[in-house]
Structures are given as structure tokens and as C-alpha cells.
Structure 1
Amino acid sequence: MKKVYTKKKLISIDYRILKPIMDCIYEAVCVIDENGIVVIWNKAAEKLYDISQDQIIGKSIEEFFPDAIVNNVRKTEAPIENKYHSPRKGSHILASSMPLYIEGVFKGAVSTDRDYAEVKKLYAELENANSKLIFLENQVKKISGIFGDIIGKSPNIVKKIEMARQIAPTHASVMITGESGTGKEVFARGIHELSGRTGLFVPVNCNAIPSELFESEFFGYCSGAFTGASKKGKMGIFEIANGGTVFLDEIGDMPLHMQAKLLRVLQEREIVRVGGEKNIKLDLRVISATNKDLRKMVEQNNFREDLFYRLNVVEINLPPLRERKGDIPIFIEHFIKEFSSANSKPIVKIQKEALSILNEYRWPGNIRELMNVIERIIVTTKNGVIQKSSTPEYIVSELKKNGRRKEYPLDLTKAIEELETDSIIKALKLTKNNKSKAASLLNIPRTTLYHKLQEYKIKC
């Protein structure tokens, strides 16, 4: 919009009223008359320039500031907005100035000045807040709330939860290990939430950041730090996580040159942005995770030993889902409810046979695979019941290929009976009921086989 400056009439105000009003204004205000004599100099101007009202009011502005913007406006009657200016040595300001008219007659000029360093600081804080806001918006998109609290009642996962709760309020670095999809990030978030830290939880996939961008992503950069850098600069991961927790997922994929820089951050607790000089103090906790054998990588010189011990103060190894058989039905029930709600469907029921198939599968992709399978089943189920036919074909085929594993009773005597019965029946099928060959396969005397056949009432 084109700005049109007109000679507006101003209401005359008693200076006894005007002075306290001017002194309440945060910006430094200076008013000069048509001859360049200072008539108003508020408290903020006194503070900004260290010149009292008694010293300057009634005197020419040029005596104090030969190149003052307000004086140039007085001469040209042309307004100036938000211009960087250094009116004297060591003084750096952002100034705006307008010509002053009273009843259509030019009477001088008025300026409002702000300390340039303060403006830059406020701008940087705004950019930092904006960076955190963008980060949080992206996190909200990623976090669907499907996992909720850590799920599980099996002894081996309950023990891990108890350990996580115990170390959460401490400052110790934590290393979470386990196969992909076992819930390492869920555990990390749980530790952060119980830590009492007020800052953000910032997850980072070290495998997803190109090697050449590691430094700028982690440390941030200043304006003009490199070709293509944003003119505003950018906060890095460590700054965003300051006061909170940074979660370094797939830490085993971090390049060696960045491992050295990370070690220094952990030791010094400060960073410098790329292209910058200012040291930024950090107060953050580091939780890392990997599905690799870092000890073996240390032996092969693919991971720094000193960094490994810095990160691995407390290690929590999460068991795969196949070792948490009792938790699979709990996960299935949880995901059914979540995905039914997310897809605006009534909560579906699951038949025993379908549940048995899902419970016996080994889930190489762990919780993540189970979650994806249940989502697929929910969106494709039409009659509100999960049947055997609802389960993915690859799971059924895998069970047929490897044989469905049978859960034996805890009663050892009964378990042995069932195991022996199953083994004898399988041997007889393989040998087409040839008892001599079956006994050989079972590695028992033929007389013992006959005895077992009678004892377990196995019909040939």
C-alpha cells in the first residue's frame, strides 16, 4: 500500500501531562523543533544514550548527534522507518522518525529509537520460539498417541519398566538397545516424562541425516554460514532440546567425525553454531538407542570407545515381542481399540482362531509390525469380526512353513507327556507308521516306543 503523508493537525497537550506520558514509553523518544532544538527527551532516551534531560533539552541536537536521523527528517520533511543507525561511536540503534506538524504548520520532527542489540536479541528469541513451534507441530503429526503408556505385563518387560522409572529422575545418560520395533522411543519418551525436565523431548534418527548436514542440523547455523543457508539462521537440535531431552535413535549410524563432536558436547555442555562465535550453554539429557552391537563396533573401531561409555551409563535392553508372548494379546486388544476409534469404526471382535494365529507368529518386526498388521485388519474388516481369513496371508504361510508352535502346560509331567505324544505322532507320519524307523528317528529302543504307544493310547 502506497503511503501518503499529509499535514495533519495535532491537538496541543500541556507539557506537564505530556512528559509523564513520554517517560512511560519503552522506546527512546526525541522531539526537536523546526530549528533542531531538543524539546522532549524521555527517560528511555536518557537510559539508551546516557544523556540526561537537563543536559540536552533546550540545546541543538547536532551538539550531541551531528548525524541524527531526526535532524535529517527535520531538514527533508521525509519520514524514515526502522533504519539501522549509529548516531555516535559505540551507539547502534534502530530508528524511525516522522516530520511533526501542528495545525498544518511544520514544527520539527519526532524520533523513536531502540537499542539494535536488544532488537536483534528479541528477533533471535522470536526465531527460536518459531523453530520450537515448527518442531512441535511436526512432532504432533508424528505422535498419533497409539502407544500411549508402555504396554506389557510379562516379567521381562515389567523389570525394564521398573528400571526406567528408577533412573528417570537422574541425569544419567541412557542407552536403550533391542531389535527394531521393540519400542525404544516409547521408553525414551517415558523416561523424559518422568524426569521432571521442562524442556522438549527431541527425537533424532541419526540414520536419516546426511553426513554433510550433521553439523548444521545438530549445532544450528548463523546467517550466511554457508551457501544456501537461511538468512535468518537456524536453531540446531541441541538448542531445541535445551532444558529437555535429546533422543539419538540409531546412534550406531552416526559418522565417526560427528561422534567426536558429540563427545565434546557431552563433556563441555556447550555448542557453537556453524559460522558463529558465541558459546551456547546446554542443559540437556541424552538418551540414545540402537539395534546394533556397539561393543563389537568399538572393537572394530567403527564406534568411539570413549563416546560409548559416555552414552552407556545405564543400559536398558528391550526384549523382542516373541519373548513377550503373554503381551501379544494385550497389544492386539489395545491396537484394535485405537484403530477402530481412529477409523470411526465400532470396536471389532476377534475370533479365537485368528487370535491364536497372531499369537503364535514370531513377529520379526516386533511391536511396529504387529501395529501395522492390526491397522490393516481393522480397515479391511467388513463384518466387525476378525476371522482367520482376516489375517495376512504371509503370516499364515509362515506358520504353515515352520509349523505352529504349541504352548505346553507349566505342569512338567503333563508337558513331557504332550511333547512325547507329539514327537511320536510326527515320527510315525514321517515313516508311514514304520515303528522300527520311527524308533530310530526318536532315538529310543523299539520296545520303549511300543510302551509309549500303549501308555499314551496312540493309534497307528
Structure 2
Amino acid sequence: MDNAGTICNNLTVFLKPEDTLQEAIVSFSRARLDAIPVVNEENKVLGVMTKHNLYKALLDNLSLDVPLADLYTRPAIKVQEEDPFEKVYMTMVRRRIGQVVVTKHKDRPVGMVTKLNLIEKLHSRSERMAGELASLLNALENGVLAINRRKIITVLNPAAEKMLGVESKNMLGREITTVLPEIKLSDILFTGKMENWTKIAGSPGLVARYLPVFRHGLINGAIAVLHDLREYEQVAQELESVKKLQQTFATVLEMAYDGLLVINQNGVVTTVNQAILEFLQLREEDLLGKEVQLIIPELELEEIIQTGLRDQGDVRSIRGVRCIVNRLPMIRDGKVMGAVAKLTFRDLHRLPDLVNRLEKLENQISFYRNELSRVSRNDIHLDDIVGDSPVIQQVINMCRLAAQSISTVLLIGESGTGKGIFASAIHNESRRPGPFIKINCAALPENLLESEFFGYEGGAFTGARKEGKPGKFELADGGTLLLDEIGDMSPLLQAKILRVLQEREFERVGGTKTIKVNVRVIAATNRDLEQLIKEGKFREDLYYRLNVITVRIPALRERIDDIRSLASYFIDKYNRILNTRVTGLDAVTIQLLRKHHWRGNVRELENVIERALNITQKGKIIPLHLPQYLQSPSNEKTVETQAATEKDNIDLFSTVASAEKEMILQAIERTEGNRTKAAQLLGISRTCLYKKLRQHNIRRKK
């Protein structure tokens, strides 16, 4: 490791305070140094006499007999002999000095480190690193090709020469577009974006990954990493030699559940797992190397070796315990090389439940995969919106007209009414080629919103990516940007958004380049913007800029006739997710849902349906399956509705309560008082049943 002692100039001369200017001149002529340490009688460093000090004294016409006591620089900047090169380098850079004194124990000087020493060492390191890089590039199996910002080829390693069928001596120093036009590196200089593996035209089997090279935040070049997929065919042929290991491993993986035991063709145990050891209450050494017939004769694995046939799902009694046994032969080149046995012995009574849960999980995976695919394509159109009521159809028609325009749209509606869905549908109906980008103005801290909207340049603030990051406006170029919850935006950001809406241009945070975009803006809010304007919390000019086409999304209580169709949609949705077979809502439940105030709107309705399908798995949803607040006579209503229908509500809920109590009593009677079975019969949890028992004052008969 380089340190101060290894890079310094060893000292052969020293000066003392009492030495004269004449003696200093002689010492400098002998040592040929830019500075000489000044030491005391104990040879400890007091300071340094530099050539600058010497020249100044001569220019001041001082006598050559003048002592150096008042002429040298003090104190001397010192480093220890064992100090690493990096510390010496940083000391000289930070102090802005041309030399330091190297000392050892008791402050004794041993040498001087000058700028020349640093330059020589840095040059040596640079040459070594260049050599190491060249060796690395030559050893890489991937091809590497690099260009500078003028599109000149600067690197072409041997692997790239072989893949492209060229020689570096004919390529280096030439413009890539003239000699290798199929390598699209020059495009990266323009976009500054990385491109993952893409095919190279005219070179079957070759793919390339393109990466920009940045220096001080600017594109300084680009690199292409080449990969030859044809090598995989050679790898596959080499793997043939380990085919036996693959087959054994694959068979073990297939059976790796519960008890596992493997024997060779002689019937000797070669592999066991912990589960079978615990089942047999044996140690590993009691099984390995022993004949399986002597330890577990009930398995009859010799039969599998003799016939080469698999036997699966056989129920056998092993040491008095009923197990599901699967036996498979291990075959290579037509010969039986051994056999594998798997014993399922734990919690066999839970198998039906596990099968149902597995089916439910598979349905959930299938549903979410379809939903993810649909959402990733933003495949939501106005015709997909559920609802036949006149008020929602009027909104859909208004959105269809708005989709044909390029003007800004303002969506106003309570939380949970589906403003985001309408925005996505408007974008898809407009057939704009760009993406649909959404940003929630209330979900991010104010200090992050500006960089999220407009992006930032590399190094714009602490923690910023060195390559910078595009903002939502830039990402939405050619498409649509949804400004959700715009009523919560700060006044400072409102002014910047207004400028983008008016001029269609902006600058990134920390940048000076003006970026022009073609973005259609849709704003959404659940707040009263006009009231916010009166309170001075929202800019009036921004409001009028946004309020070109206004669409008010109605609350669910304003479209009561859509509750049945919305509920049916959510029932179908969660039937697929939860693997249930709920067919719909009974009449009483529909009436309860229609009378609710629905402060949470469609989102609240969806949660209610999802909850119901977690309580019951088939048949119709009844009031018992609804949340308590929907079953109670205090079910939220508007003041007007409550006054008008008070009598009807009392009759309705008394009927519901009576029917519910009767159903619970019948279930308890049919199950002879077994509360767990009664809960299963009713399609509710046991906790819910006990709650209902207390609510209806139903007590266990003594």
C-alpha cells in the first residue's frame, strides 16, 4: 500500500534557524528541492525554508550572512511516514501547498512529498488501472463497444470483434454510423436513456444493451454490451454430462413435501429428510446405508425397482399410522436407478380445506393477473362504467364529448365516486397516442411535488440521481396527465402549473433547458374550489384555466337505481377472487342498501360487498351479512329521507331483526346446540354468531 514514506524524496540536507542565507543557497543547490526542513538541535521539525522564501530574501537585498530564523515558513505542514497516499494527497489539496514534510517517531524528518511526487504516483496508478481495464475487457465473454460524444469508436474488445466479425484496428477512431450502422449507439447520445436487450439487425442471435455515459451531468458517450445467445446451445450440450444429477434432483423436488426417502437400485437408503425421521422417531444414521426392507417393509419399494412403475396416492398403514404414500422410480437410459417414496401423514383431515384454499388462491392470482394486465393497458372505456341511471348516463355522455376535445377537463365529485376511472376512460376514448399518467397532489410532501411534476437534473439536490429524472409532465407527453386532489396543491406550485397549462413548457428542477410538451390535463377534486378561492387558498386564474370542461360525478346516493347493478358487478368480481358462489342480494338487503346515505360512495359499497363475501360463500347476501351500521335502524339517511320514511324504516328493521333471530334459532336447533356448526350453516364466523346471540338475547338452554 502506498504511503508517505514510499513516495517521498529522502532528505540528505537540513537547515537550522542559525544557518545563514548563504548556507541555504548552497543547500538548495545540492539538494535540488523546492523546500528544505528547518530543524532544531534535537532534529525536530520547526518549519520549512522554501525557494519562495529564498527568492524573497534575495529580492529584498538581505545580506547573505543573515540567519534564517526570521525567513523560513512555520509551522511546517507534516504527515507521518505511515500515512496513506490518499491522506497525503488530500492534505496538500486542502491546504493548497506544494510540499509536506514526512516525519517518523519523535517528529524526526525523513523526506519531502512534492506536487511532482503526487503527479508521478497518480500517473502510475492511472497506467495500472488502464492496464487492468484493458485486461478485464479482453477477458470478458460479452462484447463491449464504446463511443465518445462525437460518435467515434474508442473501445472494441476481442469478444466484440469476434461477434461482429471485425478488427479493432480498422474500427477504432472511426465514426460508428459509417462502419457499424447496425449498432444504434448514436441514438443513445440523443435520448440519454438506457435500452435493454435488443436484436442487432443482420446478426442473428446477437443482442445488445445500450447505456449512456455521463460526465458532470452531461452525456459524454455511450457503451454497447453485446451478448451472443448462440452460446446457450453449447451450454445445453455441456449440461448433458450432468443429466443424471438433474433427473435425481428434479424427482426429489417433485416429492419434497412431508416425509421423503430415496433408495438406490440395491434397495439401500441414500437420502432422507427431517420429516420422515421425526415420523419414524429415528436418527439419520439409523436409516442411511441400511436396506429399506428391514426398516420400513410396509413401503415395498423393491416392487417399484423391479417393475419401474410409479404408484401414487396409495393409502397405507405405516407403523400404525394411516398415510398417503407416493412411490416413483428413478430411471436413466431405460434403467431403474432407484426409487423415491413420499409419505403424507400430517393433518390429513385438513386436505379438503387446503384444496379449497388452493383453488381460492388460484382464482385470486388469475383475477389479479387479469386486473394487472387491464390496468397496465389503462383498458378502461366509458362503456365499461357500470350504471344505467339517467344521471350517470348523462355524465358518461358528457365525458364522451370531453374526450373528443383537447381542452382541460375538471372532474368534481366526492371521495369514492370514481373520478380516476372517468379520467382514464376519457383518455382512452380520446385515442391520444401517449400514456395516461396520474399524480396525487395530496399524497406527496410539498417539497417533493415540484420535482415529481417537472423532474430534475442530476445533482439538483441532495439524494438526486446523478442522471436526473423526468417528471410527470415529461412522461405524459403526447398523452394525458391526471392531477388528482388538485384542491390540496400549494399556491406556489399552482403558479408553476398555470404556466405549463398556458405555455406548454417548463424547466426541470435545477435545469435551464426549456422542455416543450403536448399534454392533455384532467384535474380532479372533492373540494369546493370556488370557496377555496374566496379563502385565498386557490388561484382564481388557475381555476378558470382548469374549468374549461367541468364534469360533476354524482354521489352514489344520487344514483340509487345503480346500486343493484354495481353490487352485481362487485359480487362477480369477488366471486372470482374468493372462489365463492354468491348469486346476488335478497330483497330486504337491497332495500337496506338503497336507504343508506353512502358517504364513502362506490368505494364504500365495494367494501360492503367484499365483506359480505368473506362471511358467506354461496346463496344470496342477506342483512345478516352486512356491517352492523347497515343493519341498525340508525342507518345513515339524509334528514329529509329520515323524516319521510321513519315509519317504513321501523317496520323494515323490526322485520329484519325478527327474521334474523328466527334463522339463528333454526340453525342452533338443527345442529343440536353446536355453535360452531350453526355458524357454518348460517355462512358466518363463530365470532359473528356470538355477537348476534347477545344482540337477540338468545341464551343456551340448560
Short-chain TM bin: 0.5 to 0.7
Say whether residues 1:356 and 2:594 are aligned partners.
no
- After TM superposition, list the pairs within 5 Å mapping 1:52-451 onto structure 2: 85=148, 91=150, 93=152, 95-97=154-156, 109-112=169-172, 114=176, 118-124=187-193, 126=195, 140=375, 149-397=384-632, 399=634
CA distance in structure 2 between the partners assigned to 1:421 and 1:344 by the alignment: 39
CA distance in structure 1 between the partners assigned to 2:193 and 2:522 by the alignment: 28
Unmatched segments (≥5 aa) in structure 1: 1-71, 102-106, 131-135, 409-418, 427-460
**Residues 17-40 of structure 1, C-alpha deviation per residue, up to 9 Å, x if partnerless?**
xxxxxxxxxxxxxxxxxxxxxxxx
Partner secondary structure for residue 170 of structure 1: coil
Deviation at 1:273, TM superposition (A): 1.8
CA distance in structure 2 between the partners assigned to 1:380 and 1:422 by the alignment: 30
- After TM superposition, list the pairs within 5 Å mapping 1:29-48 onto structure 2: none
| Residues 381-390 or 212-221, more deviating | 381-390
Partner secondary structure for residue 511 of structure 2: coil
What is the root-mean-square deviation in Å for CA atoms of aligned residues? 4.1
C-alpha contact 2:156 2:168 (8 A) present in aligned 1: no
**Partner residue in 1 for 2:310:** none
CA distance in structure 2 between the partners assigned to 1:315 and 1:94 by the alignment: 56
CA distance in structure 2 between the partners assigned to 1:236 and 1:245 by the alignment: 13
Structure 2 CA distance for partners of 1:280 and 1:387, relative to 1, 3 Å: same
C-alpha contact 2:580 2:618 (8 A) present in aligned 1: no
**Residues 117-171 of structure 1, C-alpha deviation per residue, up to 9 Å, x if partnerless?**
74332442649xx9xxxxx989947989899822222222221111111121111
Structure 2 CA distance for partners of 1:144 and 1:198, relative to 1, 3 Å: closer
C-alpha contact 2:582 2:621 (8 A) present in aligned 1: no
Partner secondary structure for residue 506 of structure 2: strand
CA distance in structure 2 between the partners assigned to 1:378 and 1:143 by the alignment: 27
Deviation at 1:400, TM superposition (A): 5.4
Deviation at 1:173, TM superposition (A): 0.6
Percent identity, aligned pairs only, is 39
Task: For 1:95, give the aligned amino acid.
Answer: T
CA distance in structure 2 between the partners assigned to 1:342 and 1:146 by the alignment: 23
Task: For 2:517, give the aligned amino acid.
Answer: L
Task: For 1:96, give the aligned amino acid.
Answer: V
Aligned residue pairs total 327
More relative contact order, 1 or 2 (CA 8 Å, 6+ apart): 1
Deviation at 1:226, TM superposition (A): 1.7
The structure whose residues are more often strand, as a share, is 2
CA distance in structure 1 between the partners assigned to 2:645 and 2:189 by the alignment: 80
CA distance in structure 2 between the partners assigned to 1:363 and 1:401 by the alignment: 8
Deviation at 1:99, TM superposition (A): 8.2
C-alpha contact 1:152 1:330 (8 A) present in aligned 2: yes
Structure 2 CA distance for partners of 1:322 and 1:219, relative to 1, 3 Å: same
Deviation at 1:224, TM superposition (A): 2.1
Task: For 1:340, give the aligned amino acid.
Answer: N
C-alpha contact 2:413 2:554 (8 A) present in aligned 1: yes
Deviation at 1:380, TM superposition (A): 2.1
CA distance in structure 2 between the partners assigned to 1:108 and 1:82 by the alignment: 10
**Partner residue in 2 for 1:49:** none
**Residues 285-327 of structure 1, C-alpha deviation per residue, up to 9 Å, x if partnerless?**
1110111110111111100111100011011112211111111
TM-score, normalised with respect to structure 1: 0.62
CA distance in structure 2 between the partners assigned to 1:138 and 1:221 by the alignment: 30
Unmatched segments (≥5 aa) in structure 2: 1-129, 139-143, 162-166, 178-184, 197-209, 211-370, 652-702
Partner secondary structure for residue 230 of structure 1: coil
Greater C-alpha radius of gyration: 2
CA distance in structure 2 between the partners assigned to 1:122 and 1:170 by the alignment: 31
Partner secondary structure for residue 385 of structure 2: coil
Task: For 1:119, give the aligned amino acid.
Answer: I
C-alpha contact 1:99 1:110 (8 A) present in aligned 2: no
TM-score, normalised with respect to structure 2: 0.42
Structure 2 CA distance for partners of 1:96 and 1:363, relative to 1, 3 Å: same
CA distance in structure 1 between the partners assigned to 2:492 and 2:608 by the alignment: 39
Partner secondary structure for residue 242 of structure 1: coil
CA distance in structure 2 between the partners assigned to 1:359 and 1:77 by the alignment: 76
C-alpha contact 1:360 1:404 (8 A) present in aligned 2: no
Task: For 1:109, give the aligned amino acid.
Answer: K
Structure 2 CA distance for partners of 1:234 and 1:144, relative to 1, 3 Å: same
Task: For 1:339, give the aligned amino acid.
Answer: Y
CA distance in structure 2 between the partners assigned to 1:420 and 1:385 by the alignment: 26
Structure 2 CA distance for partners of 1:397 and 1:231, relative to 1, 3 Å: same
C-alpha contact 2:381 2:428 (8 A) present in aligned 1: no
C-alpha contact 1:146 1:338 (8 A) present in aligned 2: no
Structure 2 CA distance for partners of 1:98 and 1:393, relative to 1, 3 Å: closer
Deviation at 1:79, TM superposition (A): 6.7
Partner secondary structure for residue 179 of structure 1: coil
Task: For 2:190, give the aligned amino acid.
Answer: K
Deviation at 1:256, TM superposition (A): 0.9
Partner secondary structure for residue 192 of structure 1: helix
**Residues 380-416 of structure 1, C-alpha deviation per residue, up to 9 Å, x if partnerless?**
21343311110111222264576999899xxxxxxxx
CA distance in structure 1 between the partners assigned to 2:494 and 2:156 by the alignment: 52
